[in-house]
Chains A and B, each alone.
Chain A
Amino acid sequence: MQPLPKFEYREPGSVAEAARLLAELGSRAKLIGGGTDLVPSMRQGLYTPAYVISLQRIADLRGVAWEDGVGLRIGPMTTLREMEASAEARARFPFLAAAAREVGSPQLREMGTVGGNLCLDTRCRHFNQSEDWQDCVEACVKRGGEFCKASPNGRARKCFAVFSADLATALVAANARVTLQSAGGARTIELADYYTGDGASPTAGRPDEVLTEVLVPSAMQGVLGTYLKYRMRQAIDYPIAGVALTLRPRDGRVHDARMVVGGISSRPVIVKGLGALLEGKVLDETLAESAAKLARKSATPLANTAGDRAHRKQMVYEFARRALAEAAHAAAGAGGGEAR
């Protein structure tokens, strides 16, 4: 069997030790959570880190807990299965547990972590290919070449590879924040700002930083949320489009709506103008249709994943419409008063 490229393996016992290793090794090292993203790409020779640093023995990085006045704290080494089964997540933000459940397959969720999902590499049919295939073609931007093959004329000098993480898309809709720690200190940023939109370098995380916590702020309590995923098969496949929606129903009207679309661009795309369009209104079919059209407008996929571009765009509309219908239904169920 085609072996993995050779590397040294480390298992630091604390975040401080992991940060120290990263400070010392710089971009020669790669962190590994469950390895379900990194190992396949190493197998294809896409990454050849000299050091692989596992976070699996750092107990502090695992678990989901609610803290009053703070929010839902999720350790990055929590597996997707633990996330989908977490009583706290299911009780407070069931759509986050549901989004975790949409990822890959049971085995991938058993291995894959929340942190790995947030830091998932972008994907493209010109990039995620075997070494043999790569050897036969010219390198594109993501592989250090000059041009993007997926761009309409093949001349763009930017990478548009697709960010396809299900849970990350839902967490952006949940206004999550992430904490990044390096040997020099820690910073906390909005998850939405963690994504650069550049397919070749999709996150703002530095090579010396460990993502140490995901926080869904307590102010999000009571929000209604949905995550709907479109894919070819009902398992294993990455999303062709994923639509996350959060809103707060009050007196039969919509407040604070936020829709995020994954699987179509190099970052989770926040649908512009949707919050303003829906604010304070009754979510009827006509309004839902206008909102879904906004979602379609925000989706500008390139020909780099499964499904053709027009179809993907139309599916964003369709899944946005369904998410809004689901939310309208749930809001009506919530009795028009305080959200559940």
Chain B
Amino acid sequence: MKQVVQLNVNDAEHELALDPSRTLLEVLRESLGLTGTKEVCLLGSCGACTVLVDDRPVLACLTLASACQGKRVLTIEGLRQGEALHPLQQAFIDKGAVQCGFCTPGMIMAGKALLDRNPHPTPDEARAAIAGNLCRCTGYEQIVEAIVAAPAVDEAARVGAREGGHYLMPDMAE
């Protein structure tokens, strides 16, 4: 029997009638069209489906959507602040931490969870935070560099904003 579930996803309130066997990943991708969160192993072994639920990094493929009643969900789509990218997203671009991009949303969400708790992580702390996220392309080094560099990117963006500029998405900057 379907249950009505209230979810706050990226600051938007949703009320959905859901079969309790549906996972958060299915609801995000299929009911809400938020396909930034990736589906890969569905068994908890790759981290590609990482989202934040009440600020905690969890695997959407193993999370029942009904269990998220009244909770706050943050996905990769919710990171962007208006036109500006989140500093961690910008850092991924600056450091070339993306190749095929399939692991990227999960990596960024895991990285964000770390930065929220520890704003100036060391490379080893960054490695520990993404230990549950597999990447088959990059060799991880640039991803670690991007997470470590994010605070500086944040600072640069702040300075830019003070000076009247914006840190724009690359396609918008053209």
User: Taking beta carbons and an 8 Å cutoff, which residues of A are in contact with B?
Assistant: 1-9, 11, 32, 34-36, 39-40, 43-44, 52, 54, 56, 81, 104-108, 110-111, 234-236
Q: Which residues of A contact B50 (CB under 8 A)?
A: 107
Stretch at the interface among B63-71, B74-82, B144-152: B63-71
Asked if B44 CB lies within 8 Å of chain A CBs, one says yes
What are the interface flags for B14-50 relative to A under an 8 Å C-beta threshold, 1 for contact and 0 otherwise? 0000011111011000000000000100111101001
Q: Are B62 and A5 in contact (CB under 8 A)?
A: no
Which one, B44, B56, B128, B129, contacts A40 given CB within 8 A?
B44
Docked complex Cα distance between A208 and B23 (Å) = 26
| Interface of A, helix, strand, loop or mixed by DSSP | loop
CB-CB under 8 A from B44, the residues of chain A are: 36, 39-40, 104, 107-108
**Are B21 and A6 interface neighbours, CB within 8 A?**
yes
Q: Is the CB of A107 within 8 A of B20?
A: no
What is the CA–CA distance of A110 and B23 in the complex, to the nearest angstrom? 17
- CB < 8 Å: which of A4, A5, A7, A235 contacts B23? A4
Do B42 and A1 touch across chains, with their CB atoms under 8 A apart?
yes
Q: Which residues of chain A are near B3, meaning CB under 8 Å?
A: 9
Closest Cβ of chain A to B44, distance in Å, is 6
Verify B131–A236 contact, CB threshold 8 A. Answer: yes
Give min CB distance, A249 to chain B, whole Å.
31
User: Please, could you name 30 A-B residue pairs with CB atoms under 8 Å apart, sorted by A?
Assistant: A1-B25, A1-B26, A1-B39, A1-B42, A3-B21, A3-B22, A3-B26, A4-B21, A4-B23, A6-B19, A7-B21, A9-B67, A35-B62, A35-B64, A36-B59, A39-B23, A39-B63, A43-B42, A104-B132, A105-B133, A106-B128, A107-B47, A107-B57, A107-B110, A108-B44, A110-B56, A111-B58, A111-B62, A111-B63, A235-B132
With A3-B21, A9-B3, A52-B20 known as contacts, the answer to whether A40 contacts B43 (CB < 8 A) is yes
Which residues on A sit within 8 Å (CB–CB) of B21? 3-7, 9
> Given A5-B21, A39-B62, are A235 and B131 neighbors across the interface (CB < 8 Å)?
yes
**Residues of chain A lying within 8 A (CB to CB) of residue B20:** 7-9, 52
Q: Tell me if B26 and A110 are in contact (CB < 8 A).
A: no
